[in-house]
Amino acid sequence: MLRVVLSGVESVGKSTLSAELARQFRGLLVPEFGRTYTERLRRDLTLEDHYAIAEGHEIAADQAAAANPPVLIEDTDIVMTTAWASMLFGGRDPILAARDSRADLHLLLLPDVPFVADPVRMFGADGERMRFHELVATEFQTRGIRPLTISGNWADRRAAAISAVEALL
């Protein structure tokens, strides 16, 4: 089983591309647990919420992996959860940082497409978006993970992601 994780700041196409990749490769999709979790809150996120998000995502990924699909596509993982906590709370949390990513392939979607606002998204201003992207890139570097960067228009992103997955199958 090949585990592929899509990462990146808000509104770069992670959820759409994740679903497309799962269909393309007849794999299973693990949706972004943090988004679902956040949509249900009636208060601001806390650091403890990020622990719950990390645990919830890992459980969902384990359940999907138990079916042994040829490809498991994860819409974010612990790398993004750790970066989110750093962005919101001003520092890298050691508890989140201690959790390992289990991906075979990391795709990092660059913020070179227009931001589309929705009720859950927080960092749409150009400066905030780039600061968040830098935190994500730093998190990958700190973990010693070299993601494949995905950029360009939607068709280019899709083609690059498909090619990257195909290269490992």
Per-residue pLDDT tens over the stretch 80-131: 999 999 999 999 999 999 999 999 999 999 999 988 877 777 777 779 999 9
Provide the H-helix boundaries in the chain. 14-24, 33-40, 47-65, 78-89, 94-97, 126-143, 154-168
Task: Retrieve residue 69's tokens.
Answer: 């699909």
Among 33, 20, 40, 29, smallest CA distance to 119 is for: 40
CA atoms within 13 A on the CB side of 8: 25
Q: For residues 73 and 29, is the Cβ–Cβ distance under 8 A?
A: yes
Residue 68's pLDDT band (cuts 50, 70, 90): very high
* pLDDT value of residue 43: 87
* pLDDT value of residue 35: 87
Residue 72's pLDDT band (cuts 50, 70, 90): very high
Task: Retrieve residue 159's tokens.
Answer: 């083609």
Among 77, 154, 110, 88, smallest CA distance to 8 is for: 110
List of domains in the chain: 2-168 (3.40.50.300)
* pLDDT value of residue 136: 98
Task: Retrieve residue 6's tokens.
Answer: 């899509």
Per-residue pLDDT tens over the stretch 1-48: 999 999 999 999 999 999 999 999 999 999 999 989 988 988 899 999
- Average the pLDDT over each of 36-45, 63-72, 132-141 and give the range with the smallest value: 36-45
Q: Which helix (H) or strand (E) holds 24?
A: helix 14-24
